[in-house]
Amino acid sequence: MTIESFDADGVLDGDDLTIAYVGGGSRQWAPNLIRDLALSEFDGHVRLYDTNEESAQLNAEFGNWVQQDDDATADWSYEAVGSLETALAGADVVILSTQYDPTETFVHDLSIPREYGIYGAVSATIGPGGIFRAMRTIPVYRRFAAAVREHCPDAWVFNYTNPVHFVTRALYDEYPDINALGLCHEVLGTRWHLAMLAREELGMDAERADVDVNVKGINHFTWIDEARCKGVDLWPLLEELKDGERGNQRFTWEDLADESVFTDNWQVTWELFRRFGVLPAAGDRHIVEYATSFIQGGQETLNRWGVKRTGADYRAKHWTPAESDQTTDVEAWLEGEKEFELEPSGEEFLDILGGLTGDGPYVTNVNLPNTGQISDIEQGPVVETNAVVRAGQVKPVAAGGFPRPVRSLIQGHVDTIETIIEAARDGDVDRAFEGFSIDSQVQTLTPDESRDLFGELVAAEVDYLADWHLEESDVLAGAETYPGA
């Protein structure tokens, strides 16, 4: 088995970096990045590009304002630019972090499937909602990849946009030589949780960085079969906890009423560990959308496992910082309405950047095309494993395979993702429906229901599906919910 490394020409110069931020009007990722860069050991210039030019301008103002903070250790400058080409020209690093207005898209991903009995907890990366988010996003990211190929072909591309597995796969499908990493903090959260268990159960002085895991899977459906904290094997502790009180809790709506939707009670994690002998390594709210028996029965079933569904109302409010619970509010900071503290975000972007500039090696989880790092999944699809980051190179770590039942669960989702990627190459709607129809959530419906759900989602989001040949679709012609059918 040969595992390929992903390499760029030359080592990045940490003293003079040019970063292109596509989606530079981001309301959370960009302010987090700006704070991290101010506290870094790197210097350079950031170009912020966004179709919402006002938001990009605001973040540029914020970035230059943060540089004046007494605690800033680095020298960065920020500008908002008016075109993708200007942002990318000669860039060393490209960051991708975008989404459409959720009030026009995401809320439909949540509310319409619910009318068909599908209670997705998040609806962002798989299931009907995740697939439609992919259909909206893949064509755009193919254009981003083509632009990278033209304007900065050797740049390192960091993709934070969901659905990470679909989007990162689309980048490589368009430009196979791209140096793109799909990044997600779910495995980091699992490592944090394991450190907490080591503190509480073993009396260890442990932090996330002290925990090493062998991770493998696809984004938001990752698994671990080894876990150590400061060299101590945590597996015996996990085996003990899964059968005890911590691993066998039940919840009701009343128990969760005052909890955040992000609260993770780990009950789905423990149950799957009992069934299959390997431990899921993502938040329960994401896992249930891949192991879909946990969402059958609707809200009551979700709550029984300690999961609180993200509703459409929450997504709509989250788009407006003043109404949401997000921790970034650039305008309030700039206007002095909210106290600002220059603190790190806890993300690993700077650690990876340090590895690429020669301050390594550094090991972390990344999403990359499978070149053998997972032994029993076909090569090509994007998978998530650990990788070693060195000067100008990222090499995935061989992670092995899965117990047969887990591999079966993962393979079904890989087939959905690959089918949608193939369909997006020429905007084939009926081919996309094939991928949609084999999704494990959709398979709970009758054939007529799945077609009508597909048609209703297309009708609700038609303005964001311009790259798909809707008028040529036989499926849409037969959907009672699609206008003109």
What is the full per-residue pLDDT of the chain (485 aa) written as tens digits?
568 888 877 678 878 999 999 999 998 899 999 999 999 999 999 999 999 999 999 999 999 999 999 999 999 999 999 999 999 999 999 999 998 988 899 999 999 999 999 998 899 999 999 999 999 999 999 999 999 999 999 999 999 999 999 999 999 999 999 999 999 999 999 999 999 999 999 999 999 999 999 999 999 999 999 999 999 999 999 999 999 999 999 999 999 999 998 999 999 999 999 999 999 999 999 999 999 999 988 889 999 999 998 876 766 665 565 555 556 789 999 999 999 999 998 889 999 999 999 998 999 999 999 999 999 999 999 999 999 999 999 999 999 999 999 999 999 999 999 999 999 999 999 999 999 999 999 999 999 999 999 999 999 999 999 999 999 999 999 999 999 77
pLDDT of 7? 81
pLDDT of 103? 87
For the question of residue 185 being annotated catalytic, the response is yes
Q: What is the pTM of this model?
A: 0.95
**Rounded CA gap, 136 and 131, in Å?**
9
Q: Six-digit token pair at 478? A: 């037969």
**Among all chains, which residue has been given the structure tokens 């619910």?**
114
pLDDT of 326? 56
pLDDT of 351? 95
pLDDT of 319? 55
- Burial of 220-243, coded b for 16+ CB within 10 Å and e otherwise, reads bbbbbbebbbeeeebeebbeebbe
Q: Which of 77, 57, 73 is nearest to 17 (CA)?
A: 77
Q: Show the CA angle centred on residue 454, arms to residues 449 and 458, nearest 5°.
A: 145
Q: Six-digit token pair at 368? A: 């990359």
- Burial of 279-314, coded b for 16+ CB within 10 Å and e otherwise, reads bbbbbbbbbbbbbbebbeeeeeebbbbbbbbbebeb
**Rounded CA gap, 78 and 71, in Å?**
18
Q: What is each CA distance from 309 to 109, 281, 297, 305, 312, in whole angstroms?
A: 13, 19, 13, 11, 10
Q: Cis (ω within 30 of 0) for the bond into 447?
A: no
Q: Which of 71, 41, 33, 18 is nearest to 330 (CA)?
A: 33
Report yes or no: 2 and 371 within 8 Å, Cβ to Cβ.
Answer: yes
pLDDT of 321? 53
All residues at 6 or more sequence positions from 341 whose CB lies less than 8 Å from its CB, including other chains: none
> Which one of the listed residues 108, 185, 193, 469 is annotated catalytic?
185
**Among all chains, which residue has been given the structure tokens 């934070």?**
160
pLDDT of 219? 98
Report yes or no: 28 and 328 within 8 Å, Cβ to Cβ.
Answer: yes
CA 440 centroid distance within chain: 20
Q: Which of 281, 269, 213 is nearest to 241 (CA)?
A: 269
Q: What is the CA radius of gyration of the chain?
A: 22
Q: Six-digit token pair at 222? A: 């990752």
473: how many CB neighbours lie within 10 A of its CB?
23
pLDDT of 5? 81
Q: Six-digit token pair at 101? A: 């207005």
Report yes or no: 398 and 421 within 8 Å, Cβ to Cβ.
Answer: no
**Rounded CA gap, 358 and 91, in Å?**
18
**Rounded CA gap, 250 and 236, in Å?**
24
